[in-house]
Amino acid sequence: MMDELEQDIDKAAEMLRQAKAVVALTGAGVSAESGVPTFRGKEGLWEKFDPSTLEIGNFMKNPLRTWQVLRALFEGSLGQVRPNAAHEFLARLETQGKLLGIVTQNIDGLHQKAGSRVVHEFHGSMEWLVAPRSGHRYLAKDFDLGQLPPICPKSGEALKPDFVFFGEAIPAAAIRGAQELLTRADLLLVVGTAGVVWPASELPRLAKLGGARIIEINPESAMTRELGINDLWLRGPAGELCARLSEKLWP
């Protein structure tokens, strides 16, 4: 007899076959099986680091202190990680013309490494450093983080990673891109997000208002279920379940 999860995977595969405009909203959990730590939960970053280090006001007051924490992020697992089956599954859906694009809260660049092309980085990315006042931008890989904080050669300011700190606005282009995708979606895949950080947490509702069906993949909780807008919850790790979905869709 088929277990409940197997039946749900079959249902999800059928919903994907029927869909013509899939959009994915992803969070830290999509990269968990690549070895990237999530923020919340037992092994989460917020257990090790004080989230206030990533407040923009604290960075401006003491960039060195923030960078001492950030160096661990840049030089630790985040620098070397590889995409997993979930990133690859979403990239393949796009190649096949099914998926319009991805809205991600992640800064790890793994969707792009897997081959996804339309990726709106709602919280920015680790790839760039930016001078907060003058706006000059540089590729992070060109800076030696042995000397902290990295300094803008043009303005002399301490450079900040170009991801969104607490207290900063979401990049306008990412908001526009996300809205444009979500209003066109007929199926939204919500993968690996706790859904507690605003305004990303509002995005599934936008898709639902536009008539999209919603599948959420998460081993522990389902934010869209709590909102009462969920059509299916695949309860399990994204990499493993996406590998199983791939087998169903492309045997």
- Catalytic positions are 123
Name the H helices within 140-199: 172-184
Q: Please say which residue, 226 or 247, places its beta carbon nearer to ligand OAD.
A: 226
Site for ligand OAD in 29-48 (CB under 6 A): 29, 32-33, 38-41, 44
User: Which range in 2-10, 21-29, 69-77, 152-160 contacts ligand OAD by CB under 6 A?
Assistant: 21-29
Contact between 230 and 216 (Cβ < 8 Å)? yes
User: Site for ligand OAD (CB under 6 A): which residue of 131, 237, 242, 245?
Assistant: 237
Site for ligand OAD in 193-212 (CB under 6 A): 193-194, 197
Site for ligand OAD in 110-139 (CB under 6 A): 123
Q: What is the largest CA-CA distance in the chain?
A: 67
Q: Please say which residue, 74 or 144, places its beta carbon nearer to ligand OAD.
A: 74
Q: Please say which residue, 4 or 144, places its beta carbon nearer to ligand OAD.
A: 4
If one asks whether residue 28 binds ligand OAD (CB under 6 A), the answer comes out as: yes
If one asks whether residue 218 binds ligand OAD (CB under 6 A), the answer comes out as: yes
If one asks whether residue 221 binds ligand OAD (CB under 6 A), the answer comes out as: yes
Residue among 43, 120, 101, 53 nearest 77 (CA): 43
If one asks whether residue 219 binds ligand OAD (CB under 6 A), the answer comes out as: yes
Site for ligand OAD in 89-108 (CB under 6 A): 105
Q: What sign does the dihedral 44-229-123-170 (CA atoms) show?
A: negative
Residue among 102, 97, 126 nearest 116 (CA): 102
Q: Please say which residue, 28 or 102, places its beta carbon nearer to ligand OAD.
A: 28
Residue 167 token pair: 């207290």
CA 130/CA 161 separation, integer angstroms: 6
Q: Please say which residue, 151 or 170, places its beta carbon nearer to ligand OAD.
A: 170
State how far the alpha carbon of 92 is from the alpha carbons of 39, 109, 111, 245, in Å.
27, 16, 11, 12
State how far the alpha carbon of 124 is from the alpha carbons of 48, 90, 104, 109, 195, in Å.
22, 20, 9, 10, 17
Q: Which residues bind ligand OAD (CB under 6 A)?
A: 27-29, 32-33, 38-41, 44, 105, 123, 164, 192-194, 197, 217-221, 237-238
